[in-house]
Amino acid sequence: MRKVFLISFLFLFGCTIEAPEKTTPPENQVPVPLSFDAGIINTKVPIVSVSGVPTVQIDGIQVLRQDVHKNSSPTWNTVSSVTTTASFFTTGSFIATPKQFYNSKQNQYAHFTAYYPGVNENAVATTLSNGVATFTITGQEDIISAPSASAQGNGNPIPVALTFSHKLSQVQIYIKAASAGAISAWGNITTVKATSPTVLTLNVSTQGLAQHATPAVTDLSTGKPSQALTTDFVSFGSILVYPGALTIKVASANVPEQTVTITPSITTVAGSAHRIDLTFTATAINFSATLTDWVTGTAGTGTVQ
């Protein structure tokens, strides 16, 4: 088996978004809009980028805000609501609603942190309570998050620089038959699954992703329809899993589900894409046989209507 490790990180580049209702400037003072630096670099997990921008628009990014004294740090463990929801466009723009402004007080800095997916984005059930976001994944969503970054002063404004990282691992599945006999023996491949915890918690202060206190472990599928084998490797989709030991299960039209032995054994890593090549073989089976004489069994009758 081969494995490919592709470490990826995200950065945010240029866009203008504006502000929270809680920061009201004095009457004659013009509010200063916040700007966010944003971009994605070398992303090989489902959120994909070219030249620092996503190839597909990302909606439902959750942005949290706290305004504290410039010599203090935000206490994200007290936050249970989202300040704004952002979209990252293929043009490179990062736009949030409602708009954000710098705090009008010179000694107050606005701090931001962000994560994706948001509430019920891409069918992921997401909640936020006391600085902890809880996700229930299906294997087809990325989870990204950015640690706290500050927007300092409105005399000489400094853009907010959010640095996102991937929290899950991607398992890329490729399948092939070793021979024409294997194609016949297995029939179409119906499912490939990876076993993973599915209820996960993100601590927005530490940026640590963990299993929920009440564990839930599920076999997550690539979601691909039934596919015929060929003698060349072809993709059978991918699965996003919680980083850790990897267990793969397969099933086909002719063979019930079974667990595959991966060699060497793999521990998946957050932000990495692991390619798994599955080769299906037809193994010859040896037979032995004996023949016994017929014996007379109990007679019976029946009526067919």
Question: pLDDT for 89-137, tens place per residue?
Answer: 888 777 888 988 888 888 888 899 999 998 766 667 789 999 999 999 9
Task: State how far the Cα of 252 lies from the Cα of 263, in Å rounded to an integer.
Answer: 21
Q: Is it the case that residue 244 has pLDDT exceeding 80? A: yes
Confirm if 175 and 230 have CB atoms less than 8 A apart.
no
Q: What is the pLDDT of residue 25?
A: 44
Confirm if 211 and 135 have CB atoms less than 8 A apart.
no
Which candidate, 179, 178, 171, 177, places its Cα nearest to that of 249?
171
Per the listing, tokens 């007379």 go with: 296
Residue 295 falls inside a structural domain: no
- Domain containing 269 equals 169-280
- Assigned token pair, 148: 């706290």
Helix (H, G, I), strand (E, B) or coil at 31: coil
Q: Are residues 162 and 178 in the same domain?
A: no
Q: Are residues 78 and 95 in the same domain?
A: yes
16-55 burial, b if ≥16 CB within 10 A, otherwise e? Answer: ebbbbeebebeeeeebbebbbbbbbeebbbbbebeebbbe
Share of the chain above pLDDT 90, in %: 43
Domain boundary among 115, 149, 166: 166
Domain boundary among 166, 187, 210: 166
User: What is the residue-wise DSSP string for 102-135?
Assistant: --SSTTEEEEEEEEES-TTGGG-EEEEETTEEEE
Phi, psi of 163 (to 5 degrees): -115, 110
Instruction: Say how many domains are in the chain.
Output: 2
pTM, 2 dp = 0.78
Q: Are residues 158 and 181 in the same domain?
A: no
**pLDDT classification of 194: cutoffs 50, 70, 90:** very high
- Assigned token pair, 168: 């899950």
The whole-angstrom distance between residue 230's C-alpha and the CA centroid of its chain comes to 29
Q: Are residues 80 and 50 in the same domain?
A: yes
What letter does residue 267 receive in the DSSP assignment? B
Q: Is it the case that residue 17 has pLDDT exceeding 90? A: no
Q: What is the pLDDT of residue 29?
A: 59
Residue 294 falls inside a structural domain: no
Q: What is the pLDDT of residue 47?
A: 63
- Tell me the pLDDT of the chain averaged across its residues: 78
* Average pLDDT estimate for 184-209: 96
Say if strands 144-151 and 108-116 run parallel, antiparallel, or are unpaired.
antiparallel
More confident residue, 165 or 21: 165
Element (H, E) at 171: strand 169-177
98-137 burial, b if ≥16 CB within 10 A, otherwise e? Answer: eebbbbeeeebbbbbbbbbbbeebbebebebeebbbebbb
Domain boundary among 137, 166, 195: 166
Beta bridge partner(s), residue 260: 248
* Average pLDDT estimate for 230-252: 94
More confident residue, 27 or 277: 277
- Strand runs labelled E in 198-268: 199-203, 208-211, 217-221, 234-241, 248-252, 258-260
Residue 286 falls inside a structural domain: no
Q: Are residues 147 and 253 in the same domain?
A: no
Q: What is the pLDDT of residue 7?
A: 22
